């Protein structure tokens, strides 16, 4: 079982953090770092049953509790069996932990593609997402994380293949 967890404490109320999640895939998305990564898109507004994804990663909204979390179930690529989710963990009235949890097993080609390709990209994307959240709350332009040389190489290769 793969469990990949990222957390960030935001200077934001739980309600402000919930609004970030609610903006996902909208024209006013304040959480997804679409400046640097493929945009998250769905076949309808964000709700349980919405089908979509970003780039080659496909999923369906399995569970959405606006004040608590949103969970996506993978439908692609082949061999990604599990979910990824954003969780809102209140600390106090002015601080909230935003948590992203990917929980899955891999099979077939994903046994190799997850650790060699998707995990490094996923880790960079989620950290960029947290940067986008913080920047949105501060009203400033988001900045990407410092990507590793390997992530920059993977992005360069992907740009030429897609």
Mean pLDDT of the chain: 97
- Residue ranges and CATH numbers for the domains of the chain are 2-161 (3.30.530.20)
Contact (Cβ atoms closer than 8 angstroms) between residue 49 and residue 67: no
pLDDT at 80: 98
pLDDT at 133: 97
Taking each helix axis from N to C end, the angle separating 119-138 and 149-161, rounded to the nearest 10 degrees, works out to 100
Alpha-carbon distance 20 to 159, whole Å? 28
Contact (Cβ atoms closer than 8 angstroms) between residue 36 and residue 126: no
Query: What is the arithmetic mean of pLDDT over 107-136?
Result: 98
87: pLDDT strictly greater than 80: yes
pTM of this prediction?
Answer: 0.96
Alpha-carbon distance 154 to 14, whole Å? 35
């Amino acid at each position: 079982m793969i469990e990949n967890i990222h957390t960030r404490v935001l200077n934001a109320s739980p309600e402000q953090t919930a609004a970030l999640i609610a903006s996902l895939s909208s024209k006013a998305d304040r959480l997804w770092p679409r400046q640097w990564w493929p945009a998250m898109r769905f076949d309808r507004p964000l709700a349980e049953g919405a089908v979509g994804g970003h780039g080659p990663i496909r999923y369906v909204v399995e569970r959405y509790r606006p004040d608590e979390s949103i969970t996506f179930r993978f439908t692609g690529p082949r061999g990604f069996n599990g979910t990824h989710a954003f969780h809102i963990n209140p600390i106090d009235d002015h601080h909230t932990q935003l948590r992203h949890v990917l929980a899955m097993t891999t099979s077939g080609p994903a046994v190799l593609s997850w650790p060699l390709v998707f995990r490094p990209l996923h880790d960079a994307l989620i950290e960029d997402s947290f940067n986008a959240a913080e920047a949105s709350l501060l009203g400033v332009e988001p900045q990407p994380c410092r990507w590793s040389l390997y992530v920059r190489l993977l992005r360069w290769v992907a740009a030429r293949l897609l």
